[in-house]
Amino acid sequence: MKQKLHQSLTFNVEGENIKVGRADVTCPVCNDGKDTDTAIYDFDSISIVKCSNCSTMHLKPMPDEESLKSIYNNNYYNDKEQVHGYYDYAAEVRSIEKTYSKRLKFVKEVLGLSVIRTAQFHEIGCALGIGLSVINNEFSTLASGSDISKDAEQACKVKGFPFSRSDSLGRHNFGDRQKDIVLIFDVIEHLSDIQEFVAFLGDFVSENGYVVITTPNMDDPFNKLLGSRSPSIKIPQHTIYFTTDTLIKALDERFVLVKSKRDYQYSPISRIFERLSHIFGLKFKLLKRCNTDLLIPNGMSVYTFKKRPAFHG
């Protein structure tokens, strides 16, 4: 596979390049294993296909769980080569905080302050805890978080946030501590078994609770325009590529959509031009040190779902 930004079938552990392992080829959403999927994009030895049963797009073959776990625990938040991770996640704190504030504004608009004032918040995939700080400041609460990364665990504990280490399917041991509003920003596309994750959410989210999800929307004009060059495509860590319709179907057993909208994020101008250089093979030097933030479309959507009432498993 020709290596591009966030597209590689190897990962580095202590200087050694390790090949991503392969799992059984079944749909990560409906678990259908029929070999009748339609190829959407081909990347040499791996493809993005559309499931013939549920229409969700996913990697084929799927990466194995150990490979994914290793990727997120080896310099994922400080990946200077940007093979799989962030160049320097902590250095972009300003733009990350502004993006969170914009997303939380949507949460306030949809749910209202009467719900938010008494809600207990949790973020799945909380990374280094930057978003948890924004949640706490804006809603005067103490949000908890979970993540698969050991770096995330260390950062969140240093900052004093209640933290749980999650597995590669996004689950963690929460005991009897249900949460009212669970934020799942830029996470669900990384998972490999959505039925297991939705079952976990159904137990973790309180009655009349909500989940708020951001994920690439493959029907977004941004992704339609860029096709296989879209930054939404990250191999192998993005295993699933939803549309609004397929995401609704994936969560339908336990959750119902309340509202969705197109997502935007803040990004430094220098990072935007760096991304363009990777996408189009161009070179930009003049704006290398420009840290002014721009609000840009990112090919994603933000969704608020409500837990279905009186579910009995």
Q: What is the pLDDT of residues 50-96, one digit of tens each?
A: 999 999 999 998 888 998 899 899 888 988 776 677 878 998 999 99
pLDDT at 305: 99
Enumerate the domain spans of the chain.
10-307
**Comparing C-alpha atoms, which of 78, 63, 181 is closest to residue 120?**
181
Residue matched to tokens 């799989």: 84
What superfamily would CATH give domain 10-307?
Vaccinia Virus protein VP39 (3.40.50.150)
Using 50, 70 and 90 to split pLDDT, how confident is the model at 167? very high
pLDDT at 269: 86
Between 269 and 304, where is the model more confident?
A: 304
What is the token pair recorded at 129? 């805890």
Whether the predicted pLDDT of 173 surpasses 60: yes
Whether the predicted pLDDT of 284 surpasses 70: no
Whether the predicted pLDDT of 232 surpasses 80: yes
- Average pLDDT (92-115) is 97
Whether the predicted pLDDT of 237 surpasses 50: yes
Between 311 and 37, where is the model more confident?
A: 37
Per-residue CA distances from 312 to 5, 31, 85, 123 (Å): 44, 22, 39, 25
pLDDT at 1: 44
pLDDT at 3: 45
Cis peptide before 236 (omega within 30 of 0): yes
Query: Do residues 258 and 304 lie in contact, with contact meaning Cβ atoms separated by under 8 Å?
Result: yes
